[in-house]
Amino acid sequence: MASTLFDSALFRDVFTTPAMRAVFSDDAQLAAFVKAEVALAVTQGETGVIPREAAEAIARQAPTIALDREQLKHDTENVGYPIVGLVRQLSQSLGEAGRYVHWGATTQDIMDTAAVLQLREAVALIEVQLADVMTELARLARLHRDTPMAGRTHLQQALPITFGHKAAIWLSSLQRLAERLQQAKPRALQAQLGGAAGTLASLGDRGLDVRAAYARALDLAEPDITWHVARDGLVEMVQALATICGALGKIGYDVMILMANEIGEVFEPFSSHRGASSTMPQKRNPISSEIMLANAKMSRDAATLMLDCMVQDLERATGPWHGEWFALPQACLLTAGSLAQAQFMLSGLIVDPEAMKRNLGSTRGLIVAEAVMMGLAPALGRQRAHDEVYAACRDAATSGAALLDALLKRPAVASALPRDQLAALCEPSNYLGTAGAMVDRVLARQDRR
């Protein structure tokens, strides 16, 4: 077994995507480190902190320097962080200009800023994926706005709903999460520059000017104050990502249940041997849904770890910061994987309205007992109507008769409403409430997006 699913040649593109793995590759991280160092030098040159010609040389040459990865690995193992080794290599390669690399900064300034740059790229990918999944859900909600099916509570048939209503509920959750993701960005995607203890003392009276220019150069938000040990922005973003995974896990869980042989109302897309069993040829396992559910569980651990890492000591953490290096990429990788599986599954989801109709009829009208009760209430009063319908339901369940027949055998019911009205009350498609109107509202919100 590989050390992680994301390192496995077999599983890495099952639980995440190549694009997201690239965002959190060593190459991408080193490039982000160099980008942060270059932005720092450029802004210090513009503000007169370091010679402009040195800043220009750093900007021109630093991105092209071939780093000695083996030496950098050794330095990281020795120091505990990669920035000291990185700065040494950049400085040695840049000649006279190398004297001004990393001027007045601390390791965490560069590492945090680089992490934010990677997170920004990751969130941009996730937003595109999320939009694609919402488009598929809107299509399903619109197509099946009026497709009746059994709504289930406590795994039992409860009342009729429509499949469009179910899809619209899934969609509405992701709409809110897309908004949360957007709202979290300015709080999470902030430049980090504070120096050794967060006061920018090494930059004298130019510290705030440099930080403002540094943030602009990187197109990141400028913080009011150093956030070395105030990690709420990153924590909020990871919670949003984990919640997206949770919402997708709920969709996957629903699909898995509805795929059960005894229900058979929806199915994941068919392709040869997808979800096949090595021993049972008849099996068609809900593979995408299973991965979405697994990712929801794993992303919860990343979110929990990020919350734990908020508790940092004094002006520089002695360990909690390191936990983020695991949790932040994992949350992004898992979210991308869940969205990819959801897009595949929903874009080809097979919906069987006939099976839904058949299952609606399996209780012989008991699923609309509430409708009958409410229809009888004006004539009998609510409590007596409840008692009469309850007794009819028990008779129908015991004898195997249809609810309508059991109702007609009760004198109080038969005298309260004519047979045709009782029959209409016993038709599930007549008791969908405002399901369609609510679907329309969710779709209207999606159209506005």
Q: Residues with catalytic annotation?
A: 154, 277
Three-point CA angle 165, 15, 120, nearest 5°: 85
Q: How far is CA 72 from the centre of its chain?
A: 34
Rounded Cα–Cα distance for residues 70 and 72 (Å): 5
Residues 6+ apart with CB under 8 A from 124: none
Residue 215 · residue 194 · CB < 8 Å: no
Nearest to residue 163, comparing CAs of 355, 345, 371? Answer: 355
Pairing type for strands 266-267 and 156-162 reads unpaired
Burial grade of 377 (CB within 10 A; 0-12, 13-18, 19 or more): middle
Instruction: Provide the CA 257 distance to its chain's centre, in angstroms.
Output: 21
Structure tokens at 71: 């030496």
Q: How many whole angstroms separate alpha carbon 24 and alpha carbon 4?
A: 14
**Whole-angstrom distance, CA of residue 189 vs CA of residue 169:** 30
Q: Are 370 and 160 in contact (CB under 8 A)?
A: no
